[in-house]
Structure 1
Amino acid sequence: MTVSQREIDTQAAELLDGVADGEDLTELQVALIEFALRATSSSLDTRGSRHWAQRAVAAGATLDQLHEIVTLQSSVGVHAFFESSRHLASMACPEGGWPPLDERRQQLWDKHIGGTKYWTTMQEEIPGFLESLLRMSPEAFEGFIFYCGLPFRAHLVPNITKELISMASDASTAHRYLPGMRMHLRNSVRMGAGRRAVEHAIRLGATSPGFVGVE
């Protein structure tokens, strides 16, 4: 099944039921989202990303902030990692199900996942991925946790803006990864985003370019 824009809009509307209108996106947020939608592996629109980088700087962004977004967007390709890891783990699962985690894996789980809200939300939207990755490769599990945390360590761009960027990217015409869109939409609302900002970001994703490529 090919994911349609109608499906994106329907699921977003359901998740926004009861959410207050709130404020719309700022000029700077729009420029940052437009930049991010082009500075991603699913688009590779280098001309467009340069244009929107200039617009973002004119709206007050720093180059360090733009690079934090580049780092954030560099992980978009990880969604193939999510789905392939879940599939391979299901193939590797012994008859009767997986045994309890061994001591090493349990320590890694407790250290990095525990009851953290971000990872709990990921488990709800992408069930089985984190455990599948941990069982298949503890090394890849640790590397994933470290790498995905990089754009959130310096806090150059507010986390709510990064969640809106990730949501728009997952809903974009070149990507359409609905589990991620749902997760980041929920995170955005939890951080204070209202209906107007979320719907605006989704519209930006809907009008973003498809895959452009690099000559």
Structure 2
Amino acid sequence: MSVDDRTMRGDDPVWDRLAEIDPEFLDRYDEIASHPMDGPLDEKTAELVALASHAACTTLYEPGIRRHVGRAFDAGATVDEVMDVIEMISAIGVHAVTEGVPVLVDEAGLPEDAVEAELEKQEQLRDEFEAERGYWDELWDQVLRIDHEYFEHYLNYSAHPFKSGPLDPMVREFVIIAADASTNHLYLPGLRIHIRNALGHGATREQVMAVIEIASVIGINTVTESLPIVLEEAAARDMLPDDVEK
């Protein structure tokens, strides 16, 4: 693959403008962005991971989503596989609950002892979660105690891609790691759980590192979104260098 094929670059003219303004910076970006894309992940998996980091609700960077959906298709991904990624990472909105509920409990406490029927329902939901996901985290206990109906809705919603989607379990964990590790999310409890899960599914240290590295380079979006404004405002003031297209 060419350098452009291995980076997060797209066809947007902003890259040409960046090459005019600061070609050395673009070269340094190409080097860091191409490194994980040329690493231990196969091409399709790398593109699905990059898609996850751009499509997560904490990023929602449309040019990146479009770029990596297209590249995933070109690498052999199916529509069902791409939708699997998108549906899975839509569930990270639940982190409002997993972060908010412990604070709520600190301030307001837990409900009084539940009746037997509620306890049985909570235990059933816990068993279902463990059976479908292969793990349990104690942070869910408080959610169950306060609102087990919400937890049931969340379980059904988030389990849908796990039950019907075509992705390999290890790739699923890579996708979630990418969303949790992205700088604009950094959800450490989930990151630890899903790194552990990925390793349990047979992932190597180097593969997980490549996932994290792919997520790290979304910072370039600062440049691609800001540069057109810099050029426009500089042109309006006749401040552009002579060798830069007006």
Higher mean C-alpha displacement, 64-73 vs 81-90 = 81-90
2:117 to 94, 99, 104: 104
Q: Is 1:157 equivalent to 2:167 in the alignment?
A: yes
What value does the CA root-mean-square deviation take over the aligned residues? 2.4
Q: Is the 8 A contact 1:24 1:197 kept in 2?
A: yes
Q: Distance in 1 between matches of 2:132 and 2:198?
A: 11
Partner of 1:86: 102
Q: Distance in 1 between matches of 2:158 and 2:117?
A: 21
Aligned residues: 184
Q: Distance in 1 between matches of 2:160 and 2:184?
A: 24
Alpha-carbon offset, residue 108 of structure 1: 2.1
Q: Distance in 1 between matches of 2:64 and 2:218?
A: 10
- Cα 1:159–1:192 change in 2 (3 A) is same
Alpha-carbon offset, residue 76 of structure 1: 1.5
Q: Distance in 1 between matches of 2:187 and 2:167?
A: 23
Alpha-carbon offset, residue 85 of structure 1: 1.5
TM-score, structure 1 length as denominator?
Answer: 0.77
Q: Distance in 2 between matches of 1:31 and 1:140?
A: 33
Partner of 2:130: 116
- Cα 1:146–1:117 change in 2 (3 A) is closer
Partner of 1:54: 70
- Cα 1:67–1:61 change in 2 (3 A) is same
- Cα 1:105–1:209 change in 2 (3 A) is farther
Alpha-carbon offset, residue 150 of structure 1: 1.3
Q: Is 1:188 equivalent to 2:188 in the alignment?
A: no
Instruction: Select the structure of larger CA radius of gyration.
Output: 2
Partner of 1:8: none
Q: How does 1:160-171 map to 2 (within 5 A)?
A: 160-171=170-181
Larger RCO (alpha carbons 8 Å, 6+ apart): 1
Q: Which runs of 5+ in 2 are unaligned?
A: 1-38, 226-246
2:83 to 58, 67, 80: 67
Q: Is the 8 A contact 2:132 2:159 kept in 1?
A: no
Partner of 1:7: none
Q: Which runs of 5+ in 1 are unaligned?
A: 1-22
Deviations 1:111-161 (A, max 9, x none): 1213927767441xxx3x312112221221111111121110113111210
Identity %: 28
